[in-house]
Amino acid sequence: MLALLMRPLPLLIPAIAVLLLVPVFAADQPPPPYTLTEVWSPIPPVVTTPASGVPSDAIVLFDGKNLDAWEPAVPGGHPWKIEDGAMVIIPTAAPARPTDQRTKQSFGDVQLHLEFRTPAEVKGEGQGRGNSGVFFMGLYELQILDSDHNPTYVNGQNASVYKEHAPLVNASRGPGEWQTYDAVFIAPRFAADGTLLKPARMTVFHNGVLVQYDVALTGPTPNGPTYNQPKLPPYEAHAAKLPLLLQDHRNPNAFRNIWVRELTLPETK
């Protein structure tokens, strides 16, 4: 301590602060009861969060510069285009199969940030207006739709977990306006024999508003012209990590500022 007192004041203050932060008790005295509820380790890792950027531990999937993280989901399909810093769908005319785009990297549990824009020129109605979607693991869809004064079935409107959960509120902006999704997706868990142990779960903020809260998914999203059943498809065991997918639903929607954080969560029974 004498050495500390002899140091210049600017060096002394941090040292004293450290001493004050660490509880010290006499060897022959038990710690105060309140310390029994204090947890000092493990120390959470530090993630820097710039005011107008992405978290330091995020994986940037699109920053307006290139499509290096993406590939057509259909072999031989065409990539989308970059226009004014946005990734824009090049709609595929029927009867050709739409060209969805998927990430080259696979993911399981993630936090996703994504900004999207439906076309400023309104065409069509219902599901034919600004339709797209983001599919976690390529299987579980968070719907994208122009839901500004556009009636449709509520479990298919913007920010719905398609055909499963309607959003708590309609927080949609108008056609041609940028919107945001901030979502947490927890992948399903399967036993070694393929039995479902835990369903997938999703929490979503749409334009900063909570629209899905920890909803459980009954299975993969029914999608495509071949699915014409009155019931939703059941789970089938799949890999723990799979690519994210953005849907081409024949509308020139645009995307920007896409990043994910891979999550490592404590497993609960």
pLDDT number for residue 172: 98
Q: What is the DSSP letter of 175?
A: T
pLDDT number for residue 4: 45
SS3 15: helix
Inter-residue contact 114 to 124 (CB < 8 Å): no
pLDDT number for residue 223: 76
Q: Is the pLDDT of residue 15 over 80?
A: no
Q: Is the pLDDT of residue 176 over 60?
A: yes
Question: Is 191 exposed, middle or buried, given 0-12, 13-18 or 19+ CB atoms closer than 10 A?
Answer: exposed
* Domain 59-223+234-262 superfamily per CATH: Exo-inulinase; domain 1 (2.60.120.560)
Quick: pLDDT tens for 192-236: 999 999 999 999 999 999 999 999 999 999 876 556 677 889 999
Quick: pLDDT tens for 85-134: 999 999 888 778 889 999 999 999 999 999 999 999 999 999 999 999 99
pLDDT number for residue 98: 87
Cβ-based neighbours of 256, under 8 Å, separated by 6 or more: 62, 64, 85, 86, 87, 115, 116, 117, 178
Quick: pLDDT tens for 142-170: 999 999 999 999 999 999 999 999 999 99
Q: Is the pLDDT of residue 269 over 80?
A: no
Quick: pLDDT tens for 24-81: 666 678 889 999 999 999 999 999 999 978 999 999 999 999 999 999 999 889 999 9
What does the domain layout of the chain look like in residue ranges? 2-37, 59-223+234-262
Cβ-based neighbours of 232, under 8 Å, separated by 6 or more: 163, 164, 218, 219, 222
Position 54: which residue type? V
pLDDT number for residue 224: 63
Cβ-based neighbours of 261, under 8 Å, separated by 6 or more: 55, 57, 58, 59, 110, 111
Q: What is the DSSP letter of 77?
A: P
Quick: pLDDT tens for 235-267: 999 999 999 999 999 999 999 999 999 999 887
pLDDT number for residue 1: 46
Cβ-based neighbours of 21, under 8 Å, separated by 6 or more: none
Residues in the chain, overall count: 269
CA 46, 51, 57 angle in degrees (round to 5)? 35
pLDDT number for residue 95: 76
Task: Give me 63's structure tokens.
Answer: 């920053």
pLDDT number for residue 152: 97
Beta strands in the chain (DSSP E): 59-62, 70-72, 81-83, 86-88, 101-107, 110-117, 132-136, 140-144, 179-186, 189-190, 196-198, 201-206, 209-216, 242-246, 254-262
